[in-house]
Structure 1
Amino acid sequence: MSGAEKAKAKAEQVVGKAVRKAAHAVHKEQLAAKGAALETRGRLRGEKERAKDVFKG
């Protein structure tokens, strides 16, 4: 996995989690959903990169 892609995936996860928690604290459910989507996108990006590494050997 390239370091840049791994960092991007982790950053999306962290930012998404922070946005989601902050939005829940102020009862902004639409923003919380966007944060959850960002967090999920980061997690899936990381999984994609790990899968690519498996096939590279």
Structure 2
Amino acid sequence: MEDPAGMTNWRKATRSSNGSANCVEVGSAPSLVGIRDTKNRAGGTLVVSRRAFGSFVTAVKADRF
């Protein structure tokens, strides 16, 4: 499957290591971020703006969920 929106530099989230069943990868494009399931890459990719992803990461780090 071709990466949507020219996503490159896919990397697995650090929390997905050590045999975790919940594996997530993050990829990047000039103004977008892609998020997909490492174990089911063909299952689709969520694509959001870098700003939205940054807000999400900030909220998670602040434990707002």
Structure with the higher strand share, 1 or 2: 2
TM-score by length of 1: 0.32
TM-score by length of 2: 0.29
Structure with the higher helix share, 1 or 2: 1
Q: Indicate the structure (1 or 2) with the bigger Cα radius of gyration.
A: 1
